[in-house]
Structure 1
Amino acid sequence: MKVTRIAYSHRLNVGKYQALAEQAQRLGAVRGEVWQRYGSIAGSGLTDRQVRDRWLAEGIHHRFGVLANAWKETVRDAMADIAATRESAKVPVRRAILRHISDQKEQKRLFSLLKADRWADDPYLSRLMRSHWRRGHNRTHNQIVVRADQHHTQADEGGRLWLAVPGLVRRQMVRIPLNTTVAPTGTLRLILRGGRVEIHYQIDAASMKTSQRPCGTATLGVDKGYTEVLTDSDGNHHGDGLGHLLSAESDRIRERNRRRAKLRSIANTAARRGDQAKAERIAVNNLGTIKRDRQAARHQARVRTEIFTAVHRVVDKAAVVVAEDLTRTFTGRKQLGRNTNRRLAAWTKGVTAQALKNVSERRGSALVHVNAAYTSQVCHRCGCFGRRAGDRLHCTLCGVVWQADVNAAINVLRRHGDPDITLHTPHRAVRQIVQARADRHRSRLPLPDSSPARRAESESSALPISEQ
């Protein structure tokens, strides 16, 4: 397994940055050409080598004005992006097949056609793929992909590391000073942002210290929260600082946007009065994006650290982690404000899903996805629907108030191996199953005049939140 590491340029010369930016702009045209020609059904089944051979035969590559290795690597990268979007479109298609096709033989046939990229041969599959896979467009004009044998590093007398990459002219390398003493290896991706170059490269995960930590022995269910990253079925919270990070950043962005809006209004007023110099000064000195983007990058790095640390703590306890599939998208019923959306930070759900997958694979634990429909609304003791209020779940039947995230984590754990509720069971069917189980449980409840011993026995299966 590979993990990505990022190195940064340090005090890069403006001329070098402009030369790299020009090369990235030209390679962006290469990406645009690939997406335009092969970003739809016309590119299905084609490999990047076939595309390169076509371009060489037709002479298309001459108009880009970059070295051969540069545009060939860009073609390979763009074709990989197209293949990734096609594979991601197959995920909802598979769910639709499981949802609407009950015959297992027909399911197997459709899955085989989908896996072999022969979905165009079947009208039903073709219709599904066309509805979920839309033609993409290139918006990347700031990246350069450098092959492993096309770059080298060298340390100067002061110990600073310099990375040499090809420029626009053959045999003329562009040397980039780095802020690290670890030499990037393998294929590099150079991303140019705000006068600085980010060097993305991959390393073997087995060489990392965290990958050598053993996992635990328990089987845990986990539920994703807001004030914390994860809550497990044992009642422990992991990553308690996430809520503070998200709230503080949301408040900072709201205040910053308020000030920027005021300055933008002043600049627009000055421009209408004909004072273009003042409007330009405000735009250059107060409405730039370099500082804003770097602050956002630092915030995201802190959030990723908090999430990965929390997932490592879960895996320290568990050999099997049971969780909902956080990669699935759900349409909200209520329209929320911008500040609320920033606090909920939907992108953290994707980071948590990535952390669960990567850490589990690296450390040897098993990640099991289950259907989490209604797990946060059902009492884990009696199975009846409760009333959610903030981080509390009120069960009217049991008369107990549960901590909502702990209750959901226990329900998630119980979905592991549930014969009736599978990962792709529609939520309406899940509700019917849960309601039927609750009705059966309610019919077997002890009578009101039952002995205290029986009542104590029935209540010993779980403790309320006040006693946890």
Structure 2
Amino acid sequence: MKVTRIALSKNLNDGKYAQLVQQASQLGRVRSLVWRQYGSVAGVGVRDRTIRDRWLRDGTAAGFGVLANAWKETVRDAVADITANREAAKAKVRRAIIRHTTDDAERKRLFTALKYDTWTADPYLSRQMRGHWKHGRNRTHNQIVVRSDQYRTFTLAEGGNVWLAVPGLERRQLVRIPLNTTMEPTGTLRLIIRGGRIEVHYQIHDGALKSSRRPCGTREIGVDKGYSEVLTDSDGRRHGRELGRLLTTESDQRKLVNAHRAKLRSIAEKASARGNHAKAQRIWTNNLGMLKKERRDAAWRARIRDVTFQAVHTVVDKAAMIVAEDLTKTFTSRKRLGKNTNRRLATWTKGVTAEALEAVSGRKGSAVRLVNAAYTSQAVPFTDNLGVRKGDRLHCPCGAVWQADHAGAINILHRASDPDITPHTPYRRVRQILQERTDRQRSRLPDQDSSAGSTCRCGERTIRSLLNREH
């Protein structure tokens, strides 16, 4: 498997930055020309080499103002984007074919024509492709694709950061870019000019990534996945504390924006019903588009992933075995939490946390074990007593107070060695097991009138100091 790494320029001067901006702008015009001429039916079955040879023969390439290798790589990259765009439309057409006919032979014929791009001769497939595959346009004017044999890397001092030398606008003119890393980029590079700096994107094999990262720790740690923070471990440390703020802020913002959009949608529908189609079209075009919304959502998802992966890295740095709760099942009590709480929980990215645990642990050599999550945040640690959960506090019958996520992380760690509670044990059976254990503990007491709190050993763990400790 390949993964993408990103290196950033560091202290790049204005002259070099201006050269790269100019080169990317001129290559953007090349990319736009490819999309304009071959981004529709005219480009079906046309390879990038065919386009290159055609432009060299008719003299089109002479007006690009960039080196041959630069615009040829841009053509190859643009054709790949067009192909991906066309394949995405084919997925929708395949679903339409399934609804269109139940004849296996006819389905096979249509699928074959779609796969080998011979659908232009079939009226049904042509009609479907025209409906699902829209002529795209280029909006990328800030990228430079550099082939692996067209750049070189070097360092100015032993152990120092890497410098990257890439071709400029003229032959034998190299633009030297200082990077913020000691790892040398490899393979084909994609330079993205954004925010006054250069992003160098390149792919490496997952095995190389493992060897480039520090190893995992040596301990066994339980973690509780949370909403206000990404993880709380069994040591009481909270990782990724800004997660709750990001989720709540985004959820409240979406509620406000969607309310405004619903009002505008209502106005547009009423205008259309009254025959004022021009007004309705203006609202749909200028006020109810999805471009800004999708950009905001993408930026928010990227921020959530960044916070989540950083938090998981800090846990894996000290753990060889991570015991986590299995949250693949849905909540059963969300209807009692109120509309605002349910809405915010709907944005809880527990799937991203699970993905990060699997990916980071696999790269660093640690292991993840999933356990049954039932009652882990309601049972008092080191006992089988069910406490009283109030907010983020868990009250033990003996009077001690636990931070609920910390208690959950400890219980999750201990549940990994519990022979009675498996990952597939129903939650009602889990509660019954915990209650039976508590009853057995009480039956061993010499005084049967003693309170349940007398069996509790959680006070031996210096709860007050753990509760008040800030990290």
Q: Give TM-score, length-normalised by structure 2.
A: 0.60
Q: Does 1:433 align with 2:461?
A: no
The 2-side partners of 1:287 and 1:236 are apart by 44
Equivalence for 1:317: 318
**CA distance 1:333–1:4, shift in 2 (3 Å):** farther
Q: Tell me, what secondary structure is at the counterpart of 1:287? A: coil
**1:219: Cα distance to partner?**
0.9
Q: Does 1:415 align with 2:415?
A: yes
Equivalence for 2:388: 387
Q: Does 1:243 align with 2:303?
A: no
Structure 1 range deviating more: 240-249 or 341-350: 341-350
The 2-side partners of 1:210 and 1:319 are apart by 16
Alpha-carbon contact 1:221-1:410 (below 8 Å) kept = yes
Alpha-carbon contact 1:392-1:404 (below 8 Å) kept = yes
The 2-side partners of 1:296 and 1:214 are apart by 33
**CA distance 1:382–1:329, shift in 2 (3 Å):** closer
Structure 1 counterpart of 2:297, one-letter code: A
Alpha-carbon contact 1:26-1:64 (below 8 Å) kept = no
**1:203: Cα distance to partner?**
3.7
Equivalence for 1:224: 225
Stretches (4+) displaced over 4 A: 4-7, 9-26, 32-39, 54-60, 152-160, 181-186, 336-339, 444-450, 454-458, 465-468
Equivalence for 1:288: 289
The 2-side partners of 1:369 and 1:289 are apart by 38
**1:226: Cα distance to partner?**
0.6
Equivalence for 2:402: 402
Structure 2 counterpart of 1:31, one-letter code: A
Structure 2 counterpart of 1:66, one-letter code: D
**CA distance 1:271–1:402, shift in 2 (3 Å):** same
The 1-side partners of 2:239 and 2:446 are apart by 38
Residue by residue over 1:167-197, the C-alpha shift from the partner in whole angstroms, topping out at 9 and shown as x without a partner, is xxxxxxxxxxxxxx979869xxxxxxxxxxx
Residue by residue over 1:10-45, the C-alpha shift from the partner in whole angstroms, topping out at 9 and shown as x without a partner, is 967666557547666753564357668899xx9xxx
**1:430: Cα distance to partner?**
1.5
Equivalence for 1:95: none
The 2-side partners of 1:458 and 1:260 are apart by 52
Q: Does 1:62 align with 2:122?
A: no
Equivalence for 1:268: 269
Alpha-carbon contact 1:26-1:65 (below 8 Å) kept = no
**CA distance 1:282–1:158, shift in 2 (3 Å):** farther
The 2-side partners of 1:210 and 1:299 are apart by 30
**CA distance 1:255–1:424, shift in 2 (3 Å):** same
Structure 2 counterpart of 1:62, one-letter code: A
Alpha-carbon contact 2:206-2:363 (below 8 Å) kept = yes
**1:359: Cα distance to partner?**
0.5
**1:373: Cα distance to partner?**
1.3
The 2-side partners of 1:29 and 1:267 are apart by 30
Structure 1 range deviating more: 12-21 or 435-444: 12-21
% same residue: 49
**CA distance 1:466–1:30, shift in 2 (3 Å):** closer
Unaligned residue ranges in structure 2 (runs of 5+): 8-23, 42-82, 120-131, 137-144, 151-165, 171-183, 190-200
Equivalence for 1:443: 443
Q: Does 1:258 align with 2:309?
A: no
The 1-side partners of 2:362 and 2:231 are apart by 18
**1:266: Cα distance to partner?**
2.5
The 2-side partners of 1:302 and 1:210 are apart by 26
Structure 2 counterpart of 1:352, one-letter code: T
The 2-side partners of 1:210 and 1:306 are apart by 23
Q: Tell me, what secondary structure is at the counterpart of 1:460? A: helix
Equivalence for 1:27: 87
Alpha-carbon contact 2:216-2:319 (below 8 Å) kept = yes
**CA distance 1:67–1:220, shift in 2 (3 Å):** farther
Quick check: which has more Rg, 1 or 2? 2
Superposed counterparts of 1:294-305, under 5 Å: 294-305=295-306
Equivalence for 1:350: 351
Structure 1 range deviating more: 297-306 or 17-26: 17-26
Alpha-carbon contact 2:214-2:364 (below 8 Å) kept = yes
Structure 2 counterpart of 1:27, one-letter code: E
Residue by residue over 1:333-358, the C-alpha shift from the partner in whole angstroms, topping out at 9 and shown as x without a partner, is 34366643442245611110010011
The 1-side partners of 2:388 and 2:206 are apart by 44
Equivalence for 1:106: none
**1:377: Cα distance to partner?**
1.0
Alpha-carbon contact 1:446-1:455 (below 8 Å) kept = no
Q: Does 1:360 align with 2:358?
A: no
**1:462: Cα distance to partner?**
4.5
Structure 1 range deviating more: 329-338 or 420-429: 329-338
Alpha-carbon contact 1:205-1:211 (below 8 Å) kept = no
Equivalence for 2:307: 306
Structure 1 counterpart of 2:91, one-letter code: R
**CA distance 1:331–1:37, shift in 2 (3 Å):** farther
Q: Tell me, what secondary structure is at the counterpart of 1:220? A: strand
**1:257: Cα distance to partner?**
1.3
Superposed counterparts of 1:6-155, under 5 Å: 16-17=34-35, 19-20=38-39, 27-28=87-88, 30-32=90-92, 61-62=112-113, 66=117
Superposed counterparts of 1:117-196, under 5 Å: 158=168
Alpha-carbon contact 1:381-1:462 (below 8 Å) kept = no
**1:324: Cα distance to partner?**
1.2
The 1-side partners of 2:364 and 2:3 are apart by 13
Over aligned residues, Cα RMSD in angstroms?
Answer: 4.5
The 2-side partners of 1:312 and 1:249 are apart by 24
The 1-side partners of 2:368 and 2:87 are apart by 39
Q: Tell me, what secondary structure is at the counterpart of 1:244? A: helix
Alpha-carbon contact 1:228-1:241 (below 8 Å) kept = yes
Equivalence for 2:459: 459
The 2-side partners of 1:6 and 1:20 are apart by 29
Residue by residue over 1:302-342, the C-alpha shift from the partner in whole angstroms, topping out at 9 and shown as x without a partner, is 0000000000000111111111123x222423436664344
Structure 1 range deviating more: 269-278 or 213-222: 269-278
Q: Give TM-score, length-normalised by structure 1.
A: 0.61
Q: Tell me, what secondary structure is at the counterpart of 1:208? A: helix
Equivalence for 2:158: none
Structure 1 counterpart of 2:459, one-letter code: E
Alpha-carbon contact 2:371-2:416 (below 8 Å) kept = yes
